Amino acid sequence: MAHERTGAVTLGGNPVTLIGPELRVGDKAPDFALLTNDRRKAHLTDYKNKTCIITTVPSLDTGVCDLQTRFLNEEASKMGDDVAVLAISADLPFAQARWCKESNVEAITILSDHFDLSFGTAYGTYMKEQRLECRAVFVINQEGTIKYVEYVPEVTDHADYESALQVAKEVINKAGAAK
């Protein structure tokens, strides 16, 4: 049975149970199996040799999640090809595809964890009571090491995007200097 963390975050002020480990900076990023909007499998290994900014949201069809994903899409459009920005929710791939089209989101990759919550249980973002992802942000370097982690304490609040982006820029610059 997967590790349960009760009260690690709240949703609307109510404690929820997260399934999976609490990842930390320095941990090796676990692999995952998610679905693209056209229902193909996507894994962390698909983004090897890239810096990854991964964000999880409960649902793209909510206000904070919508703003978060649009903001990161805008930021991603300013980054180079060595960066992959992934937004993950438990929304169905069909709903994600509709949202992307309506929102003109094309610079980031939207992935569904609906099928078996592979990401949520590997990264500790699966909210047991709702069968949704909590709000979190991870930055993973090209070697697959986690360089930034934020599990947002109140799921309805925004993440600290600026801190995550600052760490991502540092990782990108370090990788560029190593080339």
Of residues 52, 65, 100, 134, which has the active-site annotation?
Answer: 65
As a whole number of angstroms, the distance between CA 7 and CA 112 comes to 25
Catalytic annotation on 65? yes
Q: Are 155 and 88 in contact (CB under 8 A)?
A: no
Task: Give CA–CA dist 82/163, Å, rounded.
Answer: 19
Q: Helices (DSSP H) in 3-91: which residue ranges?
A: 63-76
- Ramachandran category for residue 144: left, alpha or beta (phi over 0 → left; psi -120 to 50 → alpha): left
Q: Which residue, 161, 169, 155, is CA-closest to 18?
A: 155
Q: Which residues are catalytic?
A: 65
